[in-house]
Structure 1
């Protein structure tokens, strides 16, 4: 069901974010984010001699390579379009996320490593989204015993990770999803 109808309006700005999770042949996974900001009107810009309507104001990438335990073993950022010519100089700083584990406290730790002038507002915004997609990607990874099927099995309700309990409306521990999915025992959480 789409949003309700609104009054006539004029589109001014579009932000597109595409996130993709990949299983790598070496047993790791890559999660990539690609973000673009595009204006429907031309704007003045000294560093780029103006930005034409439809031309990206921002065109940025962030890739995290992770273990199945969600430890970041590599992080790469790239900036194909920025409003200022100096912006791409900060991209290497995102390598500082290497060694962090996506889990409790991750966003705070990540923000400390690339905060303020040591980072980029737009790339920092992608960190949380990449972390969420990492969880989603991990669910589909093949286990060593699988031939070609993903780790999940169709028709069977997967167990609900304890960390998801009470994290949203659907995962209410007193609700029907938790009752049906049976939370995983604590010892299963780190597999």
Structure 2
């Protein structure tokens, strides 16, 4: 077990999220998410009455279809279980994400189209994770494109540099992946030392 042993406790709530990426026959890519919430004890709701332990309080699906540039061409949502009967009524709003690109500004674009009462909290939360899975799904495609196209390589570097600890500009991972960073840093250091000598 990767975490330390916990204090004695009893289970109350479980959220399960399954995220998967697919290559489609038409050249596009699907990223799908399935979220379920269950309780370990009976849970009372106004619309559904008592939900027994293990029966989903939330059972929700979301699919993003994207192209190679991470442009969303379609989005579909489905709510099979929710605490209120009206919850599934909001799922058609998720089609508003068509035309949004996953990348810088994605969360803002989601908030503009699906913020507050225009969307569902749980489905909105899934979108950030789905964006990461979209990057992972297309990683091989994007790496192959970057190998062939210097501008694609530069875009990839810009999008990843400083995005996490491993991709700090001076980390061994970044310097190995983008040797031009090491060359630029060495050149900058050499120019700095020569200007100090003068």
Normalised-by-shorter TM-score class: 0.7 to 0.9
**Distance of 1:161 and 1:21 partners within structure 2:** 23
Can you give the 5+ residue segments of structure 2 that lack an aligned partner in the other structure?
Answer: 146-152, 182-198
Name the structure with the higher helix share.
2
Map 1:51-130 → 2, pairs under 5 A: 51-130=51-130
The aligned counterpart of 1:172 is 168
CA contact (8 A) 1:162 1:183 kept: no
Correspondence 1:34 to 2:30: no
RMSD, aligned CA: 2.0
Q: CA deviation at 1:162?
A: 2.3
Q: Residue 117 of structure 2: SS of its match in structure 1?
A: helix
Greater Rg by CA:
2
Q: CA deviation at 1:184?
A: 8.3
The aligned counterpart of 2:191 is none
**Distance of 2:47 and 2:33 partners within structure 1:** 25
* Number of positions where the alignment pairs a residue of Structure 1 with one of Structure 2: 172
Using structure 2 for the length normalisation, give the TM-score: 0.82
**Distance of 2:119 and 2:179 partners within structure 1:** 38
Q: CA deviation at 1:103?
A: 1.0
The aligned counterpart of 2:177 is 181
Against the structure 1 CA distance between its residues 8 and 25, is the aligned structure 2 distance closer, same or farther, given a 3 Å change threshold? same
CA contact (8 A) 1:36 1:57 kept: yes
**Distance of 2:28 and 2:107 partners within structure 1:** 21
Using structure 1 for the length normalisation, give the TM-score: 0.85
**Distance of 1:133 and 1:25 partners within structure 2:** 19
**Distance of 2:144 and 2:60 partners within structure 1:** 32
Correspondence 1:136 to 2:132: no
Against the structure 1 CA distance between its residues 183 and 74, is the aligned structure 2 distance closer, same or farther, given a 3 Å change threshold? farther
Structure 1 ranges of 4+ moved more than 3 A: none
